[in-house]
Amino acid sequence: MTRAEKAKRIGEILDRLYPMPPIPLHHGNAFQLLVAVVLSAQTTDAQVNRVTPALFRRAPTPQALAQMSETDILKLIRSCGLAPGKARRLKQLGQALLDQHGGEVPADMEALETLPGVGHKTASVVMNQAFGQAAFPVDTHIHRLAARWGLSKAKDVEQTERDLKKLFPPEEWGKRHLQIIYFGREHCPARNHDQAECPICSWASSRSAAAKPPLSKRR
C-alpha cells in the first residue's frame, strides 16, 4: 500500500469517527484563540479552558493584557505548565499586538511567527481556526502518529508537516489536524497502546505489517 493509499484510508476512518471535530480551545475571537494556544504548550486543553475565562474577563483585548502586570497574569494562569514564562510572553504579546498591528491579530503567518510566544505551530492553528486559511499544524503528538502510521519518516515536526501536506488536500488540512489529535487521545496513546485493537495501527503501522508474514508463508 502506498502512502497516498494509506492516507486515503486513514482519512475515511477519521471522517467516520470525527465528521465535524470541534476546536478544543474555547475562545470568542482571534485574540482569545491566540492567547489560548500560547497557553496550551505543555498543558492540556482542558486546563487551558479552566483558566482562560478569568483571564479573558481581566484582559479581553491586547491593550488590557499589555496593561496587566506579569504577577497578575501569573496568578490567573499558575496552574498551566511553564506559567512564569507564559505570563511574561503574554504581556509582551499584548504589547506587540498594540505596537505592531494596531491591537489586531494579523492574518498572516510570517507576522504571527514574529510575535512573542508564537511559533510556527501556534501561527498555523490561528491561521486555520481563526481565519479559515489552509494550514496543517503539527505538534509532537501528530508527529508521533504520522510516524507510527507510516505516513512520514521525518525526524522533526517541520518535515512531518510537509509530508502530511503532500498526502492530504489543502481543504482537509485543518480538519485532519483536529481529527488526528482526537484520535490520538481516544484510540492511539503513546504508551501502553494495543496496536492490534487500534482502528488504524492494526493495519497501518510498520510494526503491524512486520508482524504479519507474506501470504505464501502463512499456515
- Could you list the pLDDT tens digit for every one of the 219 residues in the chain? 999 999 999 999 999 999 999 999 999 999 999 999 999 999 999 999 999 999 999 999 999 999 999 999 999 999 999 999 999 999 999 999 999 999 999 999 999 999 999 999 999 999 999 999 999 999 999 999 999 999 999 999 999 999 999 999 999 999 999 999 999 999 999 999 999 999 999 999 866 544 443 333 333
Half-sphere exposure of 23 (CA within 13 A, CB side): 20
What is the model's pLDDT at position 211?
Answer: 42
Alpha-carbon distance 51 to 35, whole Å? 11
Q: What are phi and psi of 151, to 5 degrees?
A: -90, -15
The one catalytic residue among 139, 153, 175, 217: 139
Quick check: is 139 catalytic?
yes
Smallest Cα–Cα separation from 187: which of 173, 174, 200, 205?
200
Q: State which fold the 30-129 domain adopts.
A: Endonuclease III; domain 1 (1.10.340)
pTM: 0.91
Catalytic, 121? Answer yes
Residue 138 neighbours by CB under 8 Å, 6+ apart: 121, 124, 146, 157, 158, 160, 161, 164, 177
Share of the chain above pLDDT 90, in %: 93
Supply the pLDDT for residue 127.
Answer: 98
Nearest to 104 by CA among 53, 30, 25: 30
Give per-residue pLDDT as tens, 84-95: 999 999 999 999
Helix (H) or strand (E) holding 13: helix 3-17
Q: What is the pLDDT of residue 218?
A: 34
pLDDT attached to residue 205: 87
Q: Where are the domains of the chain?
A: 3-21+137-209, 30-129
Indicate which residue of 121, 165, 166, 217 is catalytic: 121
Level-2 CATH architecture, domain 3-21+137-209: Orthogonal Bundle (1.10)
Residue indicated by cell numbers 503532500? 166
